Structure 1
Amino acid sequence: MILAVDVQYEDGGGATVAGVLFEDWSDPEPARAVLTHVSEVQDYEPGQFYKRELPCILQLLDAIHESVDLIVVDGYVTLGADDRPGLGMHLYNALQQRIPIIGVAKKAFLDTPPDREILRGDSLKPLYVSGVGVPLTQARDWILAMHGKHRIPTLLKRVDQLCRGSWRP
């Protein structure tokens, strides 16, 4: 199974963490959706985003009983031209480098190499793809193959909506 995850932070200090599981990159609907709540979340620390997000994703993974073969995170695996570790790399290491991670970001990070950009649908605004445990060209191809004719693939939009409470499976 492939798992796409997203986190929505709450004003009270907690977070809602969502995941959608799917079998094929072209799937229009998830096989299963998972939602969990984290009551205490670290404060945002500039340049250390993973410290806030990683514990939330790990808690969601504890609630999943299916075998996960690959995880897609909302963000970067590596940052900038020098490939500094981002959220996805920290997740990969926390999972003992057993599960490949693909990061899909909506905004460019400073010095993001052009080979991380993909255009989907008719959009002129790129998504930024990075990965570990899988070649970048394969990661890009998989994200391009995801269902949906718009910039954001259908299932990545679904996981975002799920954690924001605007979609229920």
Structure 2
Amino acid sequence: MTIHVLGFPTTLGLPRHAVRHAPEALRATGLLDFLGQMDSRVIDHGDMALPPGLRSDPVPVRIAKVVEAARRQQQHWQRVARPGDLLFTIGGDHSTSLGTIMALAALGYDFDVVWVDAHGDFNTVETSPSGNPHGMVLALATGLLPDAMDGVIRPDRLRLWGIRDLDPGERRLLSE
């Protein structure tokens, strides 16, 4: 098996400069060496160049930028992935995962998303108290923001683990 690692140092979903350094920090802690011990070939594709997130952008613009970056990530994975490969994205905010989900769907894989987080990240523009797109990743992936993108995974394919903090509207959407 080949493990492909792509750094996705995004602040588009949560405009905090510090999260941009996550791929660098994960590599510095020995992530690539650890993955290499799994009897697999590891290919580090470096970091994808991404624009900074701007708090001054209106929420719909921020969402559009997140989706555009995810599409670029999806295209990268579609270029390099071969059957049996593991696509491993490391990054800043929660929107890091969206392009990988999109790529797996476009490649025709049958998969579930296991979301390990304290938050559900299932907000829409209407339910989000902050308007930060990183809290809308799973809603985007399931098509709850159709003006931004079509859904690529059914909600029944989501497995949310460790969730302990849901916004009221997000809780309603998840129960529906």
Query: Which structure carries more strand by proportion?
Result: 1
Same fold (TM over 0.5): no
Structure having the higher helix fraction is: 2
Say which one has the larger Rg.
2
Normalising by structure 1, we get a TM-score of: 0.33
